[in-house]
């Protein structure tokens, strides 16, 4: 489009300029170490990508890189399993452990050494940010010099869980929307996508043993639209697409509250055996499963079993928030039993911070969103905490009082506020070792389409990425703001409908 023409002109204009410097690159999240060197690597039509025959999943990373480069360069760059004898190449290999990677750029080759295929994939995301913006174009762009500044990057994330949540229950978003969300998350090295699959307004995942959940419970959404749901095939397609981008899906079935869609589908789940009407408003806290009926636990067991069969990741999210019409003496044993059901399928439970009122099983994680006391209670029981402070990390909160979409019950969250917080400073007594990671949820009561998602999520999610990945001593608003300003051009190339905050216009 117009952007590509401008890009081409700029690239031609500046092609006699000295090589760009790696230390000046706008990298987000900021890596642990960046060493600069003279020179640059330049991708051309005979560049090869090298990965060993027996490199397992890393071969998929090489293919991902080839597809990315070929799309915009228009070259036909091949993945090879022997080191090329002539010409330049990008080589992916194993070294170290976990998600750590090294990216060494020299004139004639780039070497990626990573502890795992995931680490190599994150290195590829860094490489992507070192290339000219035109690399994000979906069709071939001519006249660009595809240079990568020379130097060395060593990197490793601070937190093992870097996530975002999409509420597909209040408004339903189809497989293509979720894939686009996954693509955008992957660019910023997120590795978990939590899908909020059931709430009062909708049930969004096919459960074969309880078909009315989707037939009835999936038939509407906030505002009375037609809703929708993922068939098991579609859900598996999302899981696979995410996996190819090293993102793990965390499915949530919120309970015992936030369950009107299920209650409307099956009368027997209600204490009075009467199914309520479907609900399309945005109130919370009025519904509950009948916690002392046996059928309730049969239902949960069936749902969890079917979910587990299609979920390779370690976590099942059980919700547990805002169960205002469940008596505490019913809530506590319910949450305990549901953790046991999840554990019986060899999965770990995550629940919103209220679950800390119950006895937490050793593998359970509490997701802090509102109450510091709850998070503390969880940690006192030896549980880990996932940090999602509503006042900082809730992507449905409005930017300021003029924002048309979203809510503001927790705060207005401008870009600086979304960026300037530190997970270990949120709750007294909760430190690095207690924290599993960081997650930014997008609730969708007011969010109806992909453009709305993009507007609320970007660019705040990019700041969350840096909080979850980069150590706090390296983070700084002015540096971040400057890099983010450059990233907005990348977002434009990707046609992301982001919020152009006035803060990005200040110098």
Nearest by Cα to 437 from 456, 453, 450, 424? 424
Among 321, 448, 452, 466, binds ligand TNX (CB under 6 A): 321
Among 146, 279, 352, 399, binds ligand TNX (CB under 6 A): 352
d(CA 402, CA 90): 47
In the complex, what is the shortest distance from the CB of residue 160 to ligand TNX, in angstroms, rounded to a whole number?
A: 22
172 near ligand TNX, judged by CB under 6 A? no
Among 8, 175, 407, 503, binds ligand TNX (CB under 6 A): 407
Comparing CB distances to ligand TNX, the nearer of 222 and 491 is: 222
Comparing CB distances to ligand TNX, the nearer of 32 and 322 is: 322
288-293-298-299 Cα dihedral, nearest 10 degrees = -30
396 near ligand TNX, judged by CB under 6 A? yes
Helices (H) and strands (E) in the chain, counts: 15, 17
DSSP conformation class of 407: B
Burial environment of residue 5 by CB neighbours within 10 A (0 to 12, 13 to 18, 19 or more)? exposed
In the complex, what is the shortest distance from the CB of residue 130 to ligand TNX, in angstroms, rounded to a whole number?
A: 37
Catalytic residue among 322, 336, 489, 492: 322
* 433 contact partners, CB below 8 Å, separation of at least 6: none
443 near ligand TNX, judged by CB under 6 A? yes
Structure-block tokens of residue 365: 């994680």
Among 10, 26, 80, 284, binds ligand TNX (CB under 6 A): 284
Structure-block tokens of residue 380: 């006192």
452 near ligand TNX, judged by CB under 6 A? no
Looking from the CA of 32 toward its CB, the CA atoms found within 13 Å total: 13
In the complex, what is the shortest distance from the CB of residue 383 to ligand TNX, in angstroms, rounded to a whole number?
A: 17
Structure-block tokens of residue 190: 């997120």
**389 near 418, Cβ under 8 Å?**
no
Comparing CB distances to ligand TNX, the nearer of 317 and 490 is: 317
In the complex, what is the shortest distance from the CB of residue 60 to ligand TNX, in angstroms, rounded to a whole number?
A: 35
Nearest by Cα to 407 from 444, 358, 455? 444
In the complex, what is the shortest distance from the CB of residue 213 to ligand TNX, in angstroms, rounded to a whole number?
A: 19
Q: Which of residues 106-165 bind ligand TNX (CB under 6 A)?
A: none
d(CA 497, CA 95): 38
- Residue 475 phi, psi dihedral angles, 5° rounding: -95, 140
> Catalytic residue at 215?
no
Among 101, 210, 369, 455, binds ligand TNX (CB under 6 A): 369
Contact positions vs ligand TNX (CB under 6 A):
284, 321-322, 352, 369, 394, 396, 407, 443, 445
Q: Residues with catalytic annotation? A: 322
């Amino acid at each position: 489009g117009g952007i590509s023409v401008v890009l081409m002109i700029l690239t031609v204009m500046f092609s006699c300029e000295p090589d760009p410097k790696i230390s000046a690159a706008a990298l987000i999240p900021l890596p642990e170490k960046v060493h600069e060197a003279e020179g640059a690597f330049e991708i051309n039509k005979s560049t090869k990508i090298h990965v060993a025959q027996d490199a397992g999943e890393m071969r998929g990373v090489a293919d991902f890189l080839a597809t990315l480069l070929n799309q915009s360069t228009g070259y036909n760059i091949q993945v090879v399993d022997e080191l090329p004898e002539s010409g330049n190449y990008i080589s992916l290999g194993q070294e170290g452990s976990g998600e750590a990677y090294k990216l060494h750029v020299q004139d004639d080759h780039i070497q990626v050494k990573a502890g795992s295929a995931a680490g190599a994939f994150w290195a590829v995301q860094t490489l992507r940010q070192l290339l000219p913006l035109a690399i994000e174009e979906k069709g071939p762009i001519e006249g660009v010099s595809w240079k990568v500044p020379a130097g060395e990057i060593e990197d490793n994330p601070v937190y093992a869980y870097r996530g975002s949540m999409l509420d597909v229950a209040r408004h339903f978003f189809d497989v293509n929307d979720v894939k686009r969300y996954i693509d955008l998350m992957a660019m910023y090295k997120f590795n978990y996508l939590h899908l909020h699959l059931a709430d009062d307004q909708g049930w969004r995942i096919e459960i074969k043993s309880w078909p009315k959940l989707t037939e009835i419970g999936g038939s509407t959404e906030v505002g009375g639209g037609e809703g929708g749901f993922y068939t098991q095939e579609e859900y598996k397609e999302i899981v696979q697409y995410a996996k190819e981008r090293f993102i793990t899906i965390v499915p949530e079935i919120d309970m015992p509250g936030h369950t009107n869609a299920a209650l409307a589908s099956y009368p027997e789940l209600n204490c009075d055996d009467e199914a309520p009407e479907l609900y399309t408003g945005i109130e919370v806290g009025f519904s509950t499963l009948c916690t002392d009926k046996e059928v309730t636990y049969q239902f949960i067991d069936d749902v969890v079993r079917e979910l587990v069969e299609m979920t390779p990741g370690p976590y099942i999210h059980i919700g547990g928030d805002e169960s205002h019409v469940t008596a505490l003496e019913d809530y506590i044993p319910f949450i305990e039993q549901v953790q046991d059901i999840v554990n019986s399928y060899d999965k770990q439970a995550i629940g919103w911070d209220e679950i800390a009122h119950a006895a937490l099983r050793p593998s359970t994680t509490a997701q802090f969103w509102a109450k510091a006391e709850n998070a503390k209670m969880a940690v006192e029981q030896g549980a880990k905490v996932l940090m999602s402070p509503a006042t900082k990390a809730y992507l449905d909160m409005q930017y300021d009082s003029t924002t048309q979409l979203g809510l503001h019950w927790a705060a207005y969250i401008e870009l600086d506020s979304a960026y300037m917080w530190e997970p270990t400073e949120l709750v007294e007594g909760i430190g690095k070792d207690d924290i599993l990671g960081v997650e930014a949820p997008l609730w969708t009561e007011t969010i109806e389409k992909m453009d709305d998602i993009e507007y609320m999520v970007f660019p705040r999610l990019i700041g969350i990425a840096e909080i979850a990945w980069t150590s706090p001593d390296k983070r700084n608003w002015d540096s971040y703001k400057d890099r983010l300003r450059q990233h907005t051009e990348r977002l434009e190339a990707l046609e992301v409908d982001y919020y152009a905050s006035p803060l990005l216009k200040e110098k």
